[in-house]
Amino acid sequence: MKTILYATDYSKNSVSALKLSYLLAKKFDAMLLLLHVFDTPPSLASSVSISHSKKKKELFIENLAKLKAFCMEHLGDDMQDVDCHLVVEENASSWSGILEKATQTRADLIVVGATGAGQLKELLMGSTTKALFRKSACAVLAIPADCDSLKFKTMVYASDFEQADIFALRSLVSMARKFDAQIRVVHIAPINEYKGEQQMEWFKNMVNQKVQYEKISYDQLISDSLTGALNGFLEDSGADLLAMLERQEKGAVSNLFHKDTVLKMENRIDIPLISYNVGGL
């Protein structure tokens, strides 16, 4: 991992994401881009006069100063320990601005705050996170509030026994190695779709052929409530991180069962959630 892109809306939830972004950058010796996307006021959006151009320049300066103050407040002198770069971008869409910057910088990971509860800015960041899950070519890590320690000893990967799961696991392993973490692969099947141990063995053989990591174990659960069963498994396993694949729906029954599962989990769990997109693998 060479480049981590952290995006903030200055909400409470984004503070924890900032701290973990810094810790990850230090752990991986990666460049850390600290980004805020702002929208230009309507009065400045369509004018090309010199005075308006000056005001737009001032707007960039003001937003950059605000971003620097926010990062200094929560990181302080720690910012000197990693290769940090402050960036502000103008875009009417927060998620679009984040994705554009991620593409320009070839970011390996986008880090944002998870959905908040009640405040407008936090809810806006929640909708931004959901858009990033669906559209980002690189992995997206959503950090819940009050989660500022990098204790990734047990990582849970929710699998549907698909080929794309193999590639997502390879990406997850690159992170797990840094933490010497245990990866627990769990598959949750509805009662009427359970196919026994044969499918599990097929998947394990596929993983063993393509993923070189010894600390991977496998579990299979039977439940018609995927999110409920998964939440229970996370608690029982003492998971520090949940990894999932954002699937593109194709109309199959199995895919319908997984409809928007990543987004549902992002609203419910209190541990970091990393999402890999099928299109980005």
Low-confidence ranges of the chain (pLDDT < 50): 116-125, 250-259
Give CA separation, 261 vs 24, 84, 158, 226, 266, in Å.
26, 33, 10, 8, 9
Picking from 120, 143, 166, the residue at the C-terminal end of a domain is 143
Picking from 121, 143, 165, the residue at the C-terminal end of a domain is 143
d(Cα 238, Cα 231) in Å, to the nearest integer?
11
pLDDT at residue number 193: 64
Domain containing residue 176: CATH number: 3.40.50.620
pLDDT at residue number 256: 33
Same domain, 49 and 119: yes
Same domain, 128 and 163: no
Same domain, 29 and 78: yes
Report pLDDT digits (tens) over 73-95: 999 988 889 999 999 999 988 99
Assess if residue 279 is contained within a domain: no
Residues in the chain: 281
Same domain, 58 and 160: no
pLDDT at residue number 116: 46
Same domain, 122 and 183: no
pLDDT at residue number 80: 87
Return all residues near 167 (Cβ < 8 A) that are at least 6 apart: 276, 281
Same domain, 11 and 129: yes
- The one-letter code for the residue type at 206 is M
d(Cα 199, Cα 21) in Å, to the nearest integer?
37
pLDDT at residue number 46: 54
Same domain, 166 and 242: yes
Same domain, 121 and 162: no
Q: Is the pTM of this model over 0.75?
A: yes
Q: For residue 254, what are its two tokens?
A: 């199995």
Picking from 101, 121, 143, the residue at the C-terminal end of a domain is 143
Assess if residue 127 is contained within a domain: yes
Assess if residue 42 is contained within a domain: yes
pLDDT at residue number 43: 57
Assess if residue 149 is contained within a domain: no
Assess if residue 161 is contained within a domain: yes
Assess if residue 56 is contained within a domain: yes
pLDDT at residue number 265: 58
Same domain, 203 and 84: no
Distance of CA 131 to the CA centre of its chain: 11
State whether the Cα torsion 20-110-82-62 is positive or negative: negative
Domain span at 83 = 3-143
Domain count, the chain: 2
Same domain, 51 and 94: yes
pLDDT at residue number 122: 39
Same domain, 136 and 9: yes
Assess if residue 90 is contained within a domain: yes
Assess if residue 43 is contained within a domain: yes
Give CA separation, 218 vs 98, 113, 215, 234, 242, in Å.
35, 29, 10, 14, 14
Same domain, 135 and 244: no
Strands 31-38 and 83-90: parallel
The DSSP bridge partners found for residue 186 are 158, 219
d(Cα 261, Cα 160) in Å, to the nearest integer?
12
